């Protein structure tokens, strides 16, 4: 009963705060539209918006390790493992500029999805080759313009926190654009909110670890499949053994 009540409060706060904060996001978009084509200011506000839900919840202490490894002047293809809906909120805590690649359904969520559109995050429709090609095209354009890209190479959330196979899209993107790849490891979010259901679990620390960037020269001649497998192995080494879900 306590978990259910806590979950109701959390989701109610998320909905209410989204209704209140979206008009501010819209105002920022309007004011900065003439001089901020990459939506850097709006993305920083979105990072603040997303971070509220962990900042204000003492049950989810977030530790970020290796933040100094992110070069603010670099343009990365960023990849992270995917354990929970909370991963998105937690990664906003990085407060670094990037464009999300996200399934098209998320863009249809009132207020939150509308803000994603204002930020010009990248949509993808699963299982549609044409959509994948369009996604890759938009990602290349964003990288060329100086915006990093954030992707979950597993494609969907893990059911039990264990790492799923990696798709090669992010790794092909890094190779074609000659950009460095930045791996990020998330631990603890699946214990807080597993894939199935919306009932939050008890208190659990969350850890975000930024690994060393992988320069283009190190994977220039590597196949996308081999490169993806190498990065997956590196992330897996830093994953904690998931608790029983």
In degrees rounded to 5, what are phi and psi of residue 102?
-140, 150
Per-residue pLDDT tens for 183-238? Answer: 999 999 988 887 767 788 778 899 999 999 999 999 999 999 999 999 999 999 99
Per-residue pLDDT tens for 24-33? Answer: 999 999 999 9
Domain boundaries, the chain: 2-237
- Which pLDDT belongs to residue 156? 80
For residue 105, name the pLDDT band (cuts at 50, 70, 90): very high
- Which pLDDT belongs to residue 242? 55
Per-residue pLDDT tens for 59-84? Answer: 899 999 999 999 999 999 999 999 89
Q: What's the residue count for the chain? A: 245
Per-residue pLDDT tens for 150-182? Answer: 999 998 877 776 889 999 999 999 999 999 999
- Going by C-alpha positions, the residue among 130, 231, 224 that lies closest to residue 168 is 224
- Which pLDDT belongs to residue 147? 97
Burial 89-123, CB ≥16 within 10 A → b, else e: bbbbbbebbbbbbbeeeebeeebbbbbbebbbbbb
Of all residues in the chain, the percent with pLDDT exceeding 90 is 78
Q: Is the pLDDT of residue 87 over 70?
A: yes
Q: What angle do CA 137, 139, 142 make, to 5 degrees?
A: 115
- Which pLDDT belongs to residue 244? 45
More confident residue, 6 or 21: 21
Give the span between the Cα atoms of 16 and 19, in whole angstroms: 5
Q: Is the pLDDT of residue 99 over 70?
A: yes
Give the span between the Cα atoms of 95 and 12, in whole angstroms: 25
Identify any residues that bridge with 176 across adjacent strands, giving them in sequence order. Answer: none
Q: Domain 2-237 class?
A: alpha beta
């Amino acid at each position: 009963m306590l978990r259910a009540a806590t979950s109701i409060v959390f989701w109610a706060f998320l909905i209410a705060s989204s209704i209140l904060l979206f008009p501010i996001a819209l105002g920022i978009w309007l004011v900065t539209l003439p001089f901020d084509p990459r939506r850097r200011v709006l993305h920083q506000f979105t990072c603040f918006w997303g971070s509220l839900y962990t900042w204000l919840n003492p049950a989810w202490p977030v530790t970020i390790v290796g933040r100094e490894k992110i070069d603010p002047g670099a343009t990365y293809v960023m990849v992270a493992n995917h354990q929970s809906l909370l991963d998105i909120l937690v990664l906003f805590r990085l407060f670094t500029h990037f464009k999300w690649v996200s399934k098209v359904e998320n863009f249809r969520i009132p207020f939150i999805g509308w803000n994603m559109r204002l930020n010009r995050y990248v949509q993808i429709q699963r299982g549609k080759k044409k959509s994948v090609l369009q996604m890759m095209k938009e990602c290349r354009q964003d990288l060329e313009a100086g915006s990093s890209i954030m992707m979950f190479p597993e494609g969907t959330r893990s059911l039990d926190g264990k790492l799923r196979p990696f798709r090669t899209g992010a790794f092909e993107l890094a190779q074609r654009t000659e950009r460095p790849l930045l791996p990020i490891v998330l631990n603890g979010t699946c214990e807080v909110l597993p894939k199935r259901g919306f009932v939050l679990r008890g208190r659990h620390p969350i850890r975000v670890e930024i690994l060393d960037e992988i320069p283009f020269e190190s994977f220039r001649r590597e196949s996308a499949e081999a490169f993806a497998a190498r990065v997956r192995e590196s992330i897996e080494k830093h994953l904690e053994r998931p608790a029983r879900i």
